Amino acid sequence: MRLILLGAPGSGKGTQAEYFSRALSIPTISTGAIFREEMQKGTETGLKVKNYIDAGLLVPDDIVLEIIRERLSREDCKNGFILDGFPRTIHQAEALDRITDVDHVISLEVPDAEIEERLTGRRVCGSCGKIYHVKYGGPAESGICGECGGALTVRDDDKPETVRARLEVYHRQSEPLKDYYKNKGKLQPIDGRGSAEDIRQLVLKALSVVI
């Protein structure tokens, strides 16, 4: 299955991608995660993308497309993949059309106010990457990961002013993708406001798969 997950930052794409990746045995390709890894390693790409990401802006299409082309050509994508955070512009979607076809495009719909609350309260373990939320107290309040004891941090781009910039970028540059895929008869919008489990059930239904 070749699946695209669309939605604002913080709409739950990563959480759903993680589950469906495991359940369907296909890789998730998250351009944001690839960039964060490159930045952590201090590679040339990491240095090139850092300023854009810290400002909440999109990384230029040529950099993103080079990474996607290489990643999709790998053996583990032969039986399908989940794209999380790509495409984010019409130009990227057109380029993707020239690389491969996709089966499903799911858009997770969450209002801006909820996105702001989700992102600014998000805490990430610097060691194992586990994600928490201050709303649920526990490790998020103590600042210590419940899994590995690592220190929890706020992602630089989850700071309130950057979150607002990312939302603005989403509405202006990425939301038009919904019409792009709607016109192709591929868009399946899903209410992304419930729990991860509620949303997982809705996605399962949209994909018409039994797992």
Residue number, 144 or 155, with CB nearest to ligand AMP: 155
In this chain, which of 3, 5, 53, 187 binds ligand AMP, going by CB under 6 A?
Answer: 53
- Contact, 56 vs 174, CB < 8 A? no
CB 134 within 8 A of CB 154: no
DSSP 60: P
Give least dist CB 180 to ligand AMP, A: 14
CA 63 to chain CA mean position, Å: 17
Task: Give the residue, chosen from 9, 139, 150, 192, that forms a contact with ligand AMP under the rule CB under 6 A.
Answer: 9
How many Cβ atoms are within 10 Å of 154's Cβ, its own excluded? 15
What is the number of other CB atoms lying within 10 angstroms of the CB of residue 87?
26
CA gap 31, 91 in Å, rounded: 16
| Closest to ligand AMP by CB, 131 or 144 | 131
Stretch that binds ligand AMP, among 19-27, 48-56, 130-138, 187-195 (CB under 6 A): 48-56
Other C-beta atoms closer than 10 Å to the C-beta of 10 total 25
- The residue sitting closest to ligand AMP, measured at its beta carbon, is 32
Interacting stretch for ligand AMP, rule CB under 6 A, among 49-57, 103-111, 129-137, 182-190? 49-57
CA–CA dist 134, 121 (Å, integer): 5
- Alpha-carbon distance of 138 to 107, in angstroms, equals 31
The residues annotated with a catalytic role in the active site are: 13, 88, 122, 155, 166
Binding mask 144-183 for ligand AMP (x = CB under 6 A): -------------x--------x-----------------
Size of the site for ligand AMP (CB under 6 A): 17
CA of 155: how far to CAs of 56, 68, 104, 123, in Å?
Answer: 11, 23, 30, 7
Residue 195, amino acid? S
Per CB under 6 A, the segment of 85-93, 113-121, 140-148, 196-204 that binds ligand AMP is 85-93
Query: Which range binds ligand AMP by CB under 6 A, 31-39, 69-77, 126-134, 177-185?
Result: 31-39
State which residue, 58 or 140, has the beta carbon closest to ligand AMP.
Answer: 58
Q: What is the dihedral of CA 192, 196, 200, 203, to 10 degrees?
A: 20
- When the beta carbons of 98 and 210 are compared against ligand AMP, the nearer one is 98
Which residues of this protein are in contact with ligand AMP, per CB under 6 A? 9, 31-32, 35, 52-53, 56-59, 64, 85-86, 88, 92, 157, 166
